């Protein structure tokens, strides 16, 4: 099975032998890849919409190590889940999923997030929940995606890491990503002359 570069990057961050909750599993390709390649011991694949859930059930019915759930976020993940993946959503929704059922994270050692907006909020939420950043990887598929991997522990995020990504300036794609961000910030600044944006532009220029 061939995954997109974004999903492949997410899969590459899962520890071998993990018990995974794939939140927003959609078609189930990532869940299937994880069990087919013997990366995950088992996967709990979650969808909250009936249409995608029907497709998920159909695609995964041949895989006994994948359990599907029509549920919301992490509200029904089993206690043996040690790794949570939340991919393809906005950052506000990601943060809401994590905070609304925080007690479900008690046995979760690793969280992998691919949030498409509000990345600073997501990083702050993960830090506040008691997770330490392991990696943040840039993926370009038409647009840039930031794939974050965290583990239980005390965070070492600097203000720059919190705003732009955990040591993201070491990523091979960072220079191109920075130029894209600068163009976006500059366009927004030209519209509203925000002092906060002006400060962001200066900080980003010096990374």
Across 167-193, average pLDDT: 89
pLDDT of residue 119: 95
Interval 47-58: pLDDT, tens: 988 989 999 999
For 72, other C-beta atoms within 10 Å of its C-beta total 14
Ranges of beta strands (E only) in the chain are: 18-23, 40-47, 66-70, 83-89, 110-115, 131-141, 143-152
Domains, the chain, ranges and CATH? 5-154 (3.40.50.150)
Q: Is the pTM of this model over 0.85?
A: yes
Lowest mean pLDDT among 8-12, 178-182, 193-197: 193-197
Interval 76-130: pLDDT, tens: 999 999 999 999 999 999 999 999 999 999 999 999 999 999 999 999 999 999 9
What's the whole-number average pLDDT of the chain? 93
pLDDT at position 196 over 80: yes
Secondary element (H or E) of residue 121? helix 119-128
pLDDT of residue 140: 96
More confident residue, 34 or 2: 34
With a CB cutoff of 8 Å and minimum separation 6, the contacts of 12 are: none
């Amino acid at each position: 099975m061939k995954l997109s570069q974004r999903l492949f990057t997410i899969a590459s961050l899962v520890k071998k032998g993990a018990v995974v909750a794939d939140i927003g599993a959609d078609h189930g390709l990532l869940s299937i890849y994880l069990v087919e390649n013997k990366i995950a011991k088992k996967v709990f694949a979650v969808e909250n919409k009936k249409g995608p859930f029907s497709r998920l059930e159909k695609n995964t019915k041949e895989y006994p190590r994948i359990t599907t759930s029509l549920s919301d976020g992490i509200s029904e993940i089993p206690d043996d889940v040690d790794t949570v993946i939340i991919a393809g959503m906005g950052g506000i929704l990601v943060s809401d999923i994590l905070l609304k059922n925080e007690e479900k994270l008690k046995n979760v050692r690793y969280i992998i997030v691919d949030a498409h907006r509000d990345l600073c909020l997501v990083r702050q939420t993960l830090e506040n929940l008691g997770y330490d950043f392991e990696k943040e990887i840039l993926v370009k598929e038409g647009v840039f995606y930031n794939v974050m991997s965290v583990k239980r522990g005390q965070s070492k995020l600097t203000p720059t890491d919190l705003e732009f990504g955990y040591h993201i300036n070491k990523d091979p794609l960072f220079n191109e990503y920075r130029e894209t961000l600068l163009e976006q910030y500059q366009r927004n600044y030209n519209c509203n002359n925000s002092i906060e944006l002006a400060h962001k532009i200066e900080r980003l220029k010096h990374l």
